A and B are shown apart, each in its own frame.
Chain A
Amino acid sequence: MHFLAAGDLSTALDARAEHPEAELLAGGTDLMVEVNLSYHRPAGVIAVRSCEELLEWEGRRIGAAVTWARLEDGPHRALGQLARTIGSPQIRAAGTLGGNVATASPAGDGLPWIAAVDAEIEVASRSRGTRIIPWTEFFVGVKETTLAPDEIITAILLPEQMPVSQEFAKVGVRNVMVIAMVNCVVARGDDGFRVALGSVAPVPIRAYRAEEMINAETSISDAALTEFARIVSDEVRPITDHRSTEAYRRHASGVLARRLVERCLAA
């Protein structure tokens, strides 16, 4: 098995080009669980967590290897809120936003935020140089993305216009250290509310119909919020599995979205 600890992005990209079969290791909080659970031995490992370029966080550009621990206290309120729900302090010291994007679990807690703020995924490779992929084109299925085997996620790019308020919530049966049954981000900008949810479809989704409905209201009444929650519940596409039921996930999606709109309004 090949193992390379890349000290910079250039080295990592060379290795990635030469060994597209190798796994990328950033925080290892997904990869190592997978290795341990399945006794899966990776064909090779390229460790990128020491690549300076991936650790940079400047304005609209969040380096892919920025850890949850750093995001917890950052300027983006909902991102901080969600970062604080991920695993334990040890997990948050290791796990990264780029890793969350790369794993593309339906329950990934960072993904609804990316969807709510309409972020883009910056990727790089030797063959294609830098690509900037809208989140809507990046996530294509359960743990499936359009990242090519020789590419590395380098950053999450935020739009110029960030929402003025943003709120996150996540439902699980335990009050900390829990995989989401439903997670939700509501962001409010000049153009109105954006509502994104996770764990309720193969990929993070936006509740566009519900957004359209609530953004058409001139003053948001209790009845409107009730209708809004109903549409969100209708719009999500959850399944029943060992973590929850389809019916509960629909219900909770509506409740969370409504409560987060109320929190944005109160902010």
Chain B
Amino acid sequence: MTVGTKERVAAGIGESAPRPDGVAKLSGNFAYGSDLWIDGMLWGATLRSPYAHARLVELDITPAVVMSGVRAVLTQDDVPGRPTFGQVEQDQPVLCDGVARYWGEPVAIVAADDQETARAAVEAIIVEWEPLPPVTDPDQARAAGETYRDMVIRRGDADAAGSVVIEGEYETAIQDQAPLGPEAGLAIPDGSGGVDLHVTTQWIHIDHAQIIASLDMEPDDVRCHPVGIGGAFGAREDISLHIHVAMLALRTGRPVRIVYDRTESFAGHVKRHSARMRYRHEADDEGRLVKVTVDMVLDGGAYAHTSHAVLANASFFTVGPYKCDNVFVDAAVSRTNNPPAGAMRGFGAVQVCFAYESQMDRLAEALGLHPLEVRRRNALGPGDPMATSGQIVEGSLPTLRVIDELEAIPMPDAAIPDDPRRLPGGTGLTTPKDAVVRGVGFALGLKNLAFSEAFDDFSEVLLVLTPAGLEIHTAAIEVGQGLVTICEQIARTVLGIQAVAWVSADTSQIGSAGSTSASRQTQMTGGAVYEAAVGLRDKILQQFGGDELTNDGVYSGGELVATLDAVTADAPIEQWVRYRHPPTEEPDEFGQGNPHAGFVVAAHRAVVDVDPELGLVRVVQIDTAQDVGKALNPQAIVGQLEGGIAQGVGFAIMEELILEDGVILNPTFTDYLIPTLLDMPDVGSRLIEEPAHWGPFGAKGIGESPTISSTPAVVAAIRAATGRPLTRVPVRPQDIAGV
């Protein structure tokens, strides 16, 4: 028996462990979906509807079929199985079923020897449309009964009344996830009737289920493999080119690649729902909420996608992190001919946060209170019932602490900067220093953790210990947020083993890890890794009669009794788990019950410099206090906070898809503007560690929070600087200038 060194494992939880994909991404060596390539492959292209609503009068593919180099031209008639797809409702045709219901809807697909031929073939297809009047007004659609879901929340006394009444109408536009990596897929036939599909995604198993249904194939005959993802933010939670590229490969018997260009990407994925929200807050003389009444409509666009769940979130989070005993919500998500809406970071909680935080500011103003004071007086905490569902908040919810910690972050230098690039208008040199007015605004946001409303939410992980170290097998998707790093840290800390590797599994190798969305993977796949690691450790300790596992091996009473090599000498040791969070319930017909698995809260303070005459804004600083449960990797968290704030700033002052008769007018990065480094404020952050009641080490998912309340904080700051009401985001120069 020898005594080992028992060195503490490095890069465990709580450390800012470096990302295993970091160097590859910075040096250009990381393989993204758009890098998919195999010798002999064909190139796919897609014919799309130029109208938001039109009847397909004639579709003649012959001119494309006869072109040299064209290998297949397919339409809806060629879909082997279920002609439609969709996560919740299968209502979207794989290819146009005779009526196009949104601009850019896929009509036909082509595979050809090269990209240019494929595109030329698409243009050669003869297609005649009879344009139909598009339904583009979600209120009108709702009035006509065209909704995917209606939500009613009735809680408390409808006759309750407050002495202070604040009424407001708010609007949020369509934001695009704008991931830098476009949709990409490579389908490779296996020679025996099956196909391997390599595709950009956030949830490979939900893709798989839809793909096999439309291909009419057995699960084992279609293997879906995740590929390198260049950002997602919800855009990849629904099917885009998946079925198309597989159909082309199966038809031609050759590998086929489809990669969307930028404009096609804007047309080809779901977006953030636009919203119109009518709010009435009633409060007592001290500013405590007495009753909140809300009517809202979200625009779901042409097909359902995840609209059901987005509406539920918008409804349940309609009051924010505040207590209120009487809440009445009527909400609907409409079916229109606008681009289909679906998941985007914040998932329904973003739109209402802009509305309820605008209302809270007006309430504070009406009572002469500081904006944070009125929030303190209403702060929701553990043991309180949710204002909407009545669900008692379980675990941690440090609403008061995020307010206190936010206030403790130092303010930026009060002087207006000298560098013109740091003034409103930036390099455009529009604004002299003396035209600048500074404003400060605050906002809080509330979000649920993981999936809700009785969804069977789980993640599978298989841990394999070999002489080389530990392998984490999972189908969970790393979209750039750092999941791989976090899971490796968890495994190292639990097992004490240094060498940990991530093995990205395909759909034939392991069950679902669920979606990389809903702020859920740190807790769900991280939780699965934690539970599997504990199981693996206990199994090994039992087998070798030890009391501690380290990087050297198994110890008993301080003595090394088996080295890691000895432990794995006979065979690798495996541990599989399917991890679930505490069950949630379907709410009743009045929205009452326990629909959520837990909550996360954040607060933001924005400092902005505004040129009121030109309506231009430079966001100087955004500070945030974030409920994190437990900071598993502080640097990764700060990365999420900063990235989420960038997206929140974008939605506050520039990001908007502009529609005319359902047609997107700005589907390019020339005209869909996202913040650059020069638009990005400095960020100060405080992480609040109060452990969650489930998940690894008490950690909470924090991917969405930074986006939710940063937007209303920026708008509040612009209001403070200008006195303008600003009831719509994004705020445009003409809204501030008042012209």
Contact of B614 among A33, A84, A175, A252 (CB under 8 A): A252
- For the complex, is B675 an interface residue (Cβ under 8 Å from A)? yes
Contact A172 B428 (CB under 8 A): yes
- For the complex, is B733 an interface residue (Cβ under 8 Å from A)? yes
- For the complex, is B62 an interface residue (Cβ under 8 Å from A)? no
Contact B614 A171 (CB under 8 A): yes
Contact of B670 among A179, A248, A262 (CB under 8 A): A179
Contact of B739 among A33, A167, A169, A248 (CB under 8 A): A248
Contact B421 A37 (CB under 8 A): no
Which residues of chain A are near B432, meaning CB under 8 Å? Answer: 259, 262-263
Contact A242 B613 (CB under 8 A): no
Shortest Cβ distance from A262 into B: residue: B432
Contact of B678 among A170, A175, A180 (CB under 8 A): A175
Shortest Cβ distance from B618 into A: residue: A175
Which residues of chain A are near B261, meaning CB under 8 Å? Answer: 36
Per the 8 Å Cβ criterion, residues 241-282 of B in contact with A are: 261, 263
CA distance A66 to B424 in the complex (A): 30
Contact A169 B429 (CB under 8 A): yes
Which residues of chain A are near B430, meaning CB under 8 Å? Answer: 169-171, 256, 259
Per the 8 Å Cβ criterion, residues 168-193 of A in contact with B are: 168-181
Chain A proximity of B338: nearest CB distance (Å): 15
Known interface pairs A36-B261, A242-B665, A251-B739; A176-B421 also in contact (CB < 8 Å): yes
Contact B429 A81 (CB under 8 A): yes
Contact of B421 among A175, A181, A243 (CB under 8 A): A175
Among B435, B614, B653, B658, which residue has the most Cβ atoms of chain A within 10 A? B614
Among B428, B435, B653, B666, which residue has the most Cβ atoms of chain A within 10 A? B428
- For the complex, is A2 an interface residue (Cβ under 8 Å from B)? no
CA distance A90 to B263 in the complex (A): 22
Contact B739 A173 (CB under 8 A): no
Contact A175 B739 (CB under 8 A): no
Contact B676 A173 (CB under 8 A): no
Contact A176 B734 (CB under 8 A): no
Contact of B263 among A37, A81, A175, A180 (CB under 8 A): A37
CA distance A256 to B119 in the complex (A): 44
Shortest Cβ distance from B122 into A: residue: A39
- For the complex, is B668 an interface residue (Cβ under 8 Å from A)? yes
Which residues of chain B are near A252, meaning CB under 8 Å? Answer: 614, 733, 737
Shortest Cβ distance from B658 into A: residue: A242
- For the complex, is A50 an interface residue (Cβ under 8 Å from B)? no
CA distance A138 to B675 in the complex (A): 36
Which residues of chain B are near A174, meaning CB under 8 Å? Answer: 426, 654, 673, 675-676, 679
CA distance A81 to B734 in the complex (A): 25
- For the complex, is A245 an interface residue (Cβ under 8 Å from B)? yes
CA distance A245 to B658 in the complex (A): 13
Contact of B426 among A41, A81, A176 (CB under 8 A): A176
Per the 8 Å Cβ criterion, residues 97-119 of A in contact with B are: none
- For the complex, is B732 an interface residue (Cβ under 8 Å from A)? yes
Contact B428 A85 (CB under 8 A): yes
Shortest Cβ distance from A250 into B: residue: B739
Which residues of chain B are near A256, meaning CB under 8 Å? Answer: 430, 614
- For the complex, is B116 an interface residue (Cβ under 8 Å from A)? yes
- For the complex, is B616 an interface residue (Cβ under 8 Å from A)? yes
CA distance A174 to B677 in the complex (A): 11
CA distance A200 to B408 in the complex (A): 47
Known interface pairs A175-B679, A251-B737, A252-B614; A242-B671 also in contact (CB < 8 Å): yes
Contact A248 B421 (CB under 8 A): no
Which residues of chain B are near A167, meaning CB under 8 Å? Answer: 429
CA distance A173 to B731 in the complex (A): 10
Question: Per-position contact with A for B603-643: 1 when CB-CB < 8 Å, else 0?
Answer: 00000000001111010000000000000000000000000
CA distance A171 to B739 in the complex (A): 15
- For the complex, is A133 an interface residue (Cβ under 8 Å from B)? no
Shortest Cβ distance from A109 into B: residue: B428
Contact B668 A37 (CB under 8 A): yes
Question: Per-position contact with B for A236-247: 1 when CB-CB < 8 Å, else 0?
Answer: 000001111101
Could you say which interface size class chain A belongs to?
35 or more
- For the complex, is A255 an interface residue (Cβ under 8 Å from B)? yes
CA distance A169 to B432 in the complex (A): 11
Shortest Cβ distance from A88 into B: residue: B676
Question: Per-position contact with A for B648-686: 1 when CB-CB < 8 Å, else 0?
Answer: 000001100010000001101011010110110000000
Contact A169 B428 (CB under 8 A): yes
Shortest Cβ distance from A85 into B: residue: B427
Chain B proximity of A176: nearest CB distance (Å): 4
Which residues of chain B are near A241, meaning CB under 8 Å? Answer: 665
Chain B proximity of A2: nearest CB distance (Å): 16
Question: Per-position contact with A for B48-87: 1 when CB-CB < 8 Å, else 0?
Answer: 0000000000000000000000000000000000000000
Question: Per-position contact with B for A9-39: 1 when CB-CB < 8 Å, else 0?
Answer: 0000000000000000000000001001101
Contact of A173 among B119, B435, B733 (CB under 8 A): B733
- For the complex, is B425 an interface residue (Cβ under 8 Å from A)? yes
CA distance A39 to B47 in the complex (A): 13
Contact of A170 among B116, B429, B671 (CB under 8 A): B429
Which residues of chain B are near A255, meaning CB under 8 Å? Answer: 613-614
Contact A176 B119 (CB under 8 A): no
Among A33, A171, A181, which residue has the most Cβ atoms of chain B within 10 A? A171
Which residues of chain B are near A247, meaning CB under 8 Å? Answer: 734, 739
Per the 8 Å Cβ criterion, residues 195-254 of B in contact with A are: none
Known interface pairs A170-B428, A247-B734; A39-B119 also in contact (CB < 8 Å): yes
Chain B proximity of A156: nearest CB distance (Å): 22
Shortest Cβ distance from A84 into B: residue: B427
Contact B428 A171 (CB under 8 A): yes
Chain A proximity of B340: nearest CB distance (Å): 21
Which residues of chain A are near B615, meaning CB under 8 Å? Answer: 248
CA distance A62 to B658 in the complex (A): 39
Contact A176 B679 (CB under 8 A): yes
Shortest Cβ distance from B673 into A: residue: A174
Contact A173 B732 (CB under 8 A): yes
Contact B427 A244 (CB under 8 A): no
CA distance A263 to B430 in the complex (A): 11
Chain A proximity of B112: nearest CB distance (Å): 13
Known interface pairs A181-B733, A244-B734, A251-B737; A169-B425 also in contact (CB < 8 Å): yes
Which residues of chain B are near A169, meaning CB under 8 Å? Answer: 425, 428-430
Chain B proximity of A92: nearest CB distance (Å): 11
Chain B proximity of A25: nearest CB distance (Å): 18
Chain A proximity of B653: nearest CB distance (Å): 7
Contact B734 A175 (CB under 8 A): no
CA distance A170 to B123 in the complex (A): 39
Which residues of chain B are near A263, meaning CB under 8 Å? Answer: 432
Which residues of chain A are near B679, meaning CB under 8 Å? Answer: 174-176
Question: Per-position contact with B for A35-55: 1 when CB-CB < 8 Å, else 0?
Answer: 011010100000000000000
Chain A proximity of B291: nearest CB distance (Å): 38
CA distance A262 to B673 in the complex (A): 31
Would you give 9 A-B contacts (Cβ < 8 Å), ordered by A?
A85-B427, A85-B429, A170-B429, A174-B654, A174-B675, A176-B427, A176-B678, A245-B734, A248-B615
Question: Known contacts A84-B427, A85-B427, A175-B424; can you find 16 more A-B pairs with CB under 8 A?
Answer: A81-B429, A167-B429, A169-B430, A170-B430, A171-B425, A171-B614, A173-B732, A174-B673, A175-B421, A176-B679, A242-B671, A248-B734, A248-B739, A252-B614, A252-B733, A252-B737
A-B interface, 10 closest residue pairs, ranked by CB to CB distance from nearest: A175-B426, A248-B734, A170-B428, A242-B665, A251-B739, A176-B678, A242-B658, A174-B673, A173-B654, A175-B678
Chain B residues in the interface with A (C-beta under 8 A): 116, 119, 123, 261, 263, 421, 424-430, 432, 435, 613-616, 618, 653-654, 658, 665-666, 668, 670-671, 673, 675-676, 678-679, 732-734, 737, 739
